[in-house]
Amino acid sequence: MANKHGSLSIDSDNLFPIIKKWLYSDHDIFYRELISNGCDAITKLKKLDMMGEYSLPADYKAKIQVIVNPEEKTLTFIDNGLGMTADEVEEYINQIAFSGATDFIEKYKDKSNDDQIIGHFGLGFYSAFMVADEVTIDTLSYKEGATAVHWSCDGGTEFDMKDGDKTTVGTEITLFLNEDCLEFANEYRAREVIEKYCSFMPTEIYLSKANAPEEYETIDKEDVKDTDKGYEVTMNMPGVKKEDVKAELKDGYLTVSAAKGLDKDEEDKKGRILRQERYAGACSRSFYVGDHVTEEDIHPKYENGILSFVVPKKEQKAVEEKNKFISIEG
């Protein structure tokens, strides 16, 4: 695909002022719009798999990633849904169907429930420009032979589109936040908004901070007992399932990691879902056990939220006693 520079096809010059009006009272609702779009893309890809039009990888796990980067002042949303071709970006992003702008403003100007505006006109993606000076899209369609697409726009009516370098199916949207909205790159603020708007969504959402160092915890002395067999270690891991616990031994370090997920549905007496909650998190602990320890030496046991195992002590090789005679010359 040749590099392309063009203007967004908009039926009204009032598009961006309208979106700004919509977000005036709810600046955080763009989270819901972008995550919801990602969930829709994943749902569509799953349906294609069910209809036999696409085969999901054996290890496929549907997920939405939200990555905050306060240093770079960016916010990134990544889904592994069906992605878009260049033609689809042209249709769904570059051509914005919008009509009745004046009537619309008149209709909603006295309404307090402004969060219906974007969804009503299908403009969820463009809510990103209410907090960002620039937005980029990197996407790769599930379709065989598809080429990755990179799209960028600085919030005006002009865009740039060219071949991208994304290698996995799905869509990645990056927001370059303006100075008034840097709060949304804070991981605690992000978690608050996601829990506010997205707890009902059917896809797991993973929130992380870019370039954050991997955190390791030391094992407290009270968690280690010196026994004749070796060092007995216990780790409290409440709420974690056995199948989600992993242990890896490398270069003398033992790393225990665990993923924790929550799926909670509340239904009424007729079986109708009143509320759905999805939560996912992870933790990791690493400590030195020595180069002498192998995978066969450690036999972890997980029971009632407690992981326990024994790290063998390094055996001291006994000195073999041999009778050594001194030859006598003569």
Dist. CA 259–CA 242, nearest whole Å: 10
Is residue 24 very low, low, confident or very high in pLDDT (cuts 50, 70, 90)? very low
Position 152 pLDDT exceeds 50: yes
DSSP secondary structure code for residue 190 in this structure: H
- Alpha helical stretches, state H, the chain: 15-22, 30-50, 86-89, 101-108, 116-121, 187-197
Q: Which of 54-63, 117-126, 299-308 has the lowest mean pLDDT?
A: 117-126
pTM of the predicted model as reported, rounded to 2 decimal places = 0.59
Tell me the pLDDT tens digit for each residue of 124-141.
787 888 889 999 999 999
Dist. CA 216–CA 54, nearest whole Å: 40
pLDDT at residue 116 in the model: 45
Are residues 295 and 254 in contact, defined by beta-carbon separation less than 8 angstroms? no
Position 171 pLDDT exceeds 50: yes
Report, as an integer, the average pLDDT of 261-276.
55
Interhelix angle 15-22/101-108, nearest 10 degrees? 20
User: What residue type is 199 in one-letter code?
Assistant: S
Longest dimension (CA), the chain: 123
Residue listed under structure tokens 């893309």 = 41
Spatial CA neighbour of 259 closest among 287, 229, 281, 237: 281
With respect to CATH, is domain 4-209 assigned 3.40.50.800?
A: no
Dist. CA 196–CA 190, nearest whole Å: 10
pLDDT at residue 270 in the model: 62
Beta bridge partners of 66: 77, 207
Position 16 pLDDT exceeds 70: no
In the sheet that holds 273-288, the strands lie side by side as 245-250, 253-267, 273-288
Is residue 99 very low, low, confident or very high in pLDDT (cuts 50, 70, 90)? very low
Domain segments of the chain: what residues? 4-209, 221-312
Three-state SS for 274-289 is EEEEEEEEEEEEEEEC
Are residues 35 and 77 in contact, defined by beta-carbon separation less than 8 angstroms? yes
The mean pLDDT of the chain is 76
DSSP SS3 for 229: coil
* CA-to-CA separations, 250 to 231, 283, 289, 295, in angstroms, rounded: 18, 18, 10, 9
The residue among 219 and 142 whose pLDDT is bigger is: 142
Is residue 265 very low, low, confident or very high in pLDDT (cuts 50, 70, 90)? low
Residue listed under structure tokens 């067999």 = 229
Three-state SS for 81-126 is CCCCCHHHHHHHHHEECCCCHHHHHHHHCCCCCCCHHHHHHCCHHH
Report, as an integer, the average pLDDT of 149-158.
85
Report, as an integer, the average pLDDT of 285-302.
78
Q: In this structure, what is the dihedral angle of CA atoms 155, 159, 165, 169, given to the nearest 10 degrees? A: 70
* CA-to-CA separations, 15 to 7, 24, 107, 126, 138, in angstroms, rounded: 14, 14, 15, 9, 24
Q: What percent of the chain has pLDDT over 70?
A: 65
pLDDT at residue 199 in the model: 79
Position 231 pLDDT exceeds 80: no
Report, as an integer, the average pLDDT of 267-279.
54
**The two three-digit tokens of residue 159, written as one number:** 């865009």
Position 102 pLDDT exceeds 60: no
H or E, element range at 137: strand 132-140
Q: Which fold has domain 221-312?
A: Immunoglobulin-like (2.60.40)
pLDDT at residue 129 in the model: 84
Q: What percent of the chain has pLDDT over 90?
A: 29
pLDDT at residue 155 in the model: 74
